[in-house]
Structure 1
Amino acid sequence: MRPDLIRLHILAAVERHGSMAGAASELRYTPSAVSQQIRKLEMELHATLVDRHPKGVRLTAAGHLVVRRVQAIDHQLDALSADLEELQRGYTGTVRFGVFPTFAAALLPDVVIGLRTAYPRIRLAVHSSRISPLRELLDEHQLDLALTWDYPWNQTPDADVVRRELLFDPTVLIVAADHPLARVDHIDLADVAAEEWIVRAGGHPTAELLFRCAHAAGFAPKIAIEVSDYQETQAMVAAGLGITLCPRLAAHQLRGDVVVKRLAGPIPTRRICSARIRDAEFTTAAQRLEGILQTVVDDYSAI
């Protein structure tokens, strides 16, 4: 039988005061009630805990051993209360965070450093993936917070998800450093109608971005090559095989033999949001992370 915690604390009070009466006064019991609780505790532990004598009581070696354990339990409970308070205040805990590769390569280090600096006891568990797997992990409650991105034409309402807009990532043009456009300050899409283009393969949204922009500018883009990622895209651009459109964030790690050019006119931008499941717990630690995210993207936007 496990000992009753209240009776353990009664024994500790007896040890503090050296008498049943003193413990009774502290705990607002009668001395006889204290004595009865001690006897029940002795039965539970199968040990004699106090020596009773005419002038009071004295704890036995077993009694002192029990009180030391009670004190250790009290310290652990105090530590538990402190830990829970820290968790509720958002200074500890683990946040499971999903990011997509272009954000991870460009801004995730700043997010991690910012979080560690401001809240060093919050642990960040990062999962980097494309958007669809991240959404599945959110649905399965395996992520607390994830980043998503979309364009105006594929933004769909979702009652199950709470989104917070963090950044509107502008569309930029990447050309080879020796391309004539590299020396032009303002480029309109109509000016590049005759160029060949390099696009992301597999129906990537940036390919649709190019076709929509080209259609609005009155031309059909000539696709030279389809590639699998942005670093490969830059290599093809550097080799003079074409030019490309991409989000500015995707051009964060730029080769020395290509340049980024801003486009004139109303060009669609990529919206980046933080996302969480509406009915899932949104811990204070996760809220702290979202605040750090906003600071990092604000600093990036100001550049």
Structure 2
Amino acid sequence: MLNVRRLLLLTEAAERGSLTAAAEALSMTTSAASQQMSLLEREVGQPLLERLPRGVRTTAAGAALAERGRAVRRELQAAQADVREFAALDRGTLRLGSFPTASASLLPLALTRFSGRHPAIRTVVRAGVLERLREMLHVGEVELALMWEYEWNRIQDKDLTLAPLLDDPTVLVVPADSELLTRPAVRLGALAEQEWIIRAENHPVAEVLRRSCRLAGFEPRIAYESHDYQEAQAMVAAGLGIALAPRLALTNRRSDVRLLAFASDAPAPVRRILLASPRHRAATPTARAMARILHTVAQQFTDSGLDRAQLGAVRRGGGARH
């Protein structure tokens, strides 16, 4: 196979009529250019340049190769332009993985900001449960993925880089007229007689409820198994029971339910939201840009989200909307 750099040297020499000028164009010394041209002629088995008293000219074979070299040079220049466009975020596709809670809270704002700053980038989002998200990262189906973990199910994966985005507290969802709103603080152990709305079995929040209640010394009495958080809120509003939910899952809260934080000395489990990426693959410019935006958005959710003091104010004030 012909050496591309030597072929480009021949092309420059043919166009400039000078091996010295061709060397300068390619940032080579004249002696190095002469050596490379001799090597190219040995590779093809015939002369390619005729040395003249003032400069050089191509042989018939040299002229034919120089024309091929022009086509190669055009393709290389186009490739360089492509790379510059990708680096400048003027072209390309960003592939993200997410899960429903994040897709309904953090992700929309991040996507809006990303598309506003980089309108030429196409964004594709794939949703999945935890194991599916890990698989998509491993096989390269996505570049980044929003993931979650609790204390008892930390993600252990040496092939992933995990960057914490924010802590997502578990809150209590009660009807707007609940007597629990009058209590100065809520402890799970005091809720043993309550009926509970639970997410359908095998959902992580169902495990949160059962684990938390058992640690508090009781088994929850299940009144309804819901299949999404809006359904759970509706059943709470109807007075069928109360529910636990991660705070991010309640970004779109119904007006007829209220959210209560647990007492500071008896908190409910906190879910950690993570941004995951493959450890052994370099991040693309688009992935790095989205990662920065996601961290900024997560910080804004942390700063503006209802903390325990604000939740207490909601409880005493009769449930101002948020």
Q: TM-score, normalised by structure 1?
A: 0.76
Distance 1:273 1:257 in 2: 31
Distance 1:163 1:144 in 2: 13
Does the 8 A contact of 1:141 with 1:280 survive in 2?
A: no
Structure 1: state its 5+ residue gaps.
44-55
Does the 8 A contact of 2:174 with 2:243 survive in 1?
A: yes
CA 1:115–1:58: 2 relative to 1, 3 Å: same
How many pairs were matched up? Answer: 294
Q: Which residue of 1 aligns with 2:271?
A: 270
Does the 8 A contact of 2:11 with 2:69 survive in 1?
A: no
Give the deviation of 1:13 after TM superposition: 5.1
Q: Once the two structures are superposed, what CA deviation does each residue of 1:142-194 show, in whole Å capped at 9, x if it has no partner?
A: 22221211211122532232211111100011112222234556322234322
Q: Once the two structures are superposed, what CA deviation does each residue of 1:72-91 show, in whole Å capped at 9, x if it has no partner?
A: 76455334223324545777
Does the 8 A contact of 2:149 with 2:155 survive in 1?
A: no
Instruction: Provide the identity percentage.
Output: 40
Distance 1:161 1:12 in 2: 47
Q: Secondary structure at the match of 2:104?
A: helix
Distance 1:253 1:97 in 2: 23
CA 1:11–1:165: 2 relative to 1, 3 Å: closer
Distance 1:143 1:7 in 2: 39
1:261 equivalent to 2:249? Answer no
Structure 2: state its 5+ residue gaps.
24-29, 47-54, 305-322
Distance 1:227 1:112 in 2: 29
C-alpha RMSD over aligned residues: 4.2
CA 1:201–1:76: 2 relative to 1, 3 Å: same
Distance 1:57 1:144 in 2: 52
1:239 equivalent to 2:242? Answer no
Q: Secondary structure at the match of 1:170?
A: strand
CA 1:70–1:185: 2 relative to 1, 3 Å: farther
Give the deviation of 1:205 after TM superposition: 1.8
1:166 equivalent to 2:151? Answer no
> 1:1-303, aligned counterparts within 5 Å?
10=10, 14-15=14-15, 22=18, 25-27=21-23, 28=30, 74-87=73-86, 92-182=91-181, 184=183, 186-264=185-263, 265-303=266-304
Distance 2:298 2:13 in 1: 57
